[in-house]
Amino acid sequence: MMKVGRWLQNLLFIALCGCSGGGGEENVPLPEELEGPKVQITLNCGIDSRATETSFEAGDQVGLFVVNYNGTSAGVLQNSGNHADNVKFTYSSGWTPEREIYWKDETSKADFYCYYPYTTVTDVSAYKFTVNADQSTETNYKASDFLWGKTGGIAPTENAVDITLKHMFSCMQIKVAPGKGYTAEELEKVVESVTVHGVRNEASINLATGVATAEGAEKVITPWRDGEYYKALIVPQSVKEVGLIVVLIGGKEYALKKTFTFETNKRYPFTVTVDKTNNGINVGIGNWEEDGVDHGGVAE
């Protein structure tokens, strides 16, 4: 109603000026000029400090959807026709949009949906994303990360809208530790590879709710070796009892059979202890840092 009332006032003002004579028409302001400047929407995106990286880097790009309220009722995120559809913002020292977007008016609230990395989105309820099976390089590992965040019910403001994005996937952080009969140096020489088995690497992501559903066939994931840890990003899912972590030593595979549920935005440290025995090698798993429960087992 504020907009309509102001518009009628503008028409009345123009009409009065037009009747005043004296050739003053050239000084009559347009209605939008009388309304004052529109308020541009700006962003301040951050990452929830869990799982993997906790800050954006120069050149990172996010996509933004803005959905207006209808009075006091929140709108529904659509594939298109929202107040703003998948507007790309690029990070440097701040976030710069590919084009300027503005609030609808002075009073209408809006919901903000943001995701990373930016891409073309045709279905907001089932966006398809694939985690790399080969995450053995830092580039492939980082390319497997997907972030999502929502800030709801925000009233028009000149301040940047704060949105915190969370990691949609889980992070496995595996450490192979020397047990009986090994020093760290000796173990480093005999471990040939560490892999993750029995997990699906395809995801269907609902950008309205921030829920990721695992799809596709089971794959073998090769983690990235980052210092003393092997790191792998896993689509949230429950896995049956399989050789979840496989350590290759001396050409032989030693598997930890495990039933496990991976959840969004959680990091799961695994300490895999390798013992040298008379009969060969035993591989066990230590305590979870999160729950303090011994989930130990023996690789066979």
For 123-139, the DSSP string reads -TTSEEEE--SB--SHH
The answer on pLDDT for 99 being more than 80 is: yes
The answer on pLDDT for 292 being more than 90 is: no
The answer on pLDDT for 276 being more than 80 is: no
Written out in words, the top-level CATH class of the domain with range 22-167 is mainly beta
- Tell me which of 258 and 21 has the higher pLDDT: 258
Measure Cα distances from 92 to 60, 75, 97 in Å. Answer: 8, 31, 11
Mean local confidence (pLDDT), 223-228: 95
Confidence of residue 242 (pLDDT cuts 50, 70, 90): confident
As a whole number of angstroms, the distance between CA 118 and CA 86 comes to 8
State phi, psi for 11 to the nearest 5 degrees: -60, -40
CB 74 within 8 Å of CB 113: no
For 9-53, the DSSP string reads HHHHHHHHHHHS-TTGGGGPPPHHHHH-PPPBP-EEEEE-SSSS-
As a whole number of angstroms, the distance between CA 228 and CA 66 comes to 42
Q: Is 1 helix (H, G, I), strand (E, B) or coil?
A: coil
- What are 159-217's pLDDT values in tens digits? 999 999 999 999 999 999 888 888 899 889 999 999 999 999 999 999 999 999 999 99
Which range, of 25-29, 39-43, 113-117, 216-220, averages the lowest pLDDT?
A: 25-29
Mean local confidence (pLDDT), 238-257: 87
**Percentage, residues of the chain above pLDDT 90:** 61
Q: How many CA atoms lie within 13 A of 35 on its CB side?
A: 16
The answer on pLDDT for 2 being more than 50 is: no
CB 293 within 8 Å of CB 287: yes
The answer on pLDDT for 269 being more than 80 is: yes
- Give residue 181's pLDDT: 84
- Give residue 252's pLDDT: 83
- What are 14-31's pLDDT values in tens digits? 343 444 444 444 444 444
Mean pLDDT, the chain, rounded, equals 82
- Give residue 6's pLDDT: 47
- Tell me which of 287 and 61 has the higher pLDDT: 61
Confidence of residue 37 (pLDDT cuts 50, 70, 90): low
> If one looks up domain 170-202+219-285 in CATH, what number appears?
2.60.40.2630
pTM of structure = 0.80
Q: Which residue has the tokens 């729950």?
A: 291
| Chain centroid, CA 123 distance in Å | 17
- Tell me which of 121 and 28 has the higher pLDDT: 121
22-167 and 170-202+219-285 share one fold? yes
- Find the radius of gyration of the CA atoms of the chain: 27
Which residues are CB-contacts of 274 (< 8 A; sequence separation ≥ 6)? 176, 177, 178, 179, 182, 187, 191, 247, 249, 281, 282, 283
- Tell me which of 140 and 253 has the higher pLDDT: 140
> Domain limits of the chain?
22-167, 170-202+219-285
Q: Of 2-11, 29-38, 287-296, which has the strongest mean pLDDT? A: 29-38
- Give residue 64's pLDDT: 96
- Give residue 229's pLDDT: 94
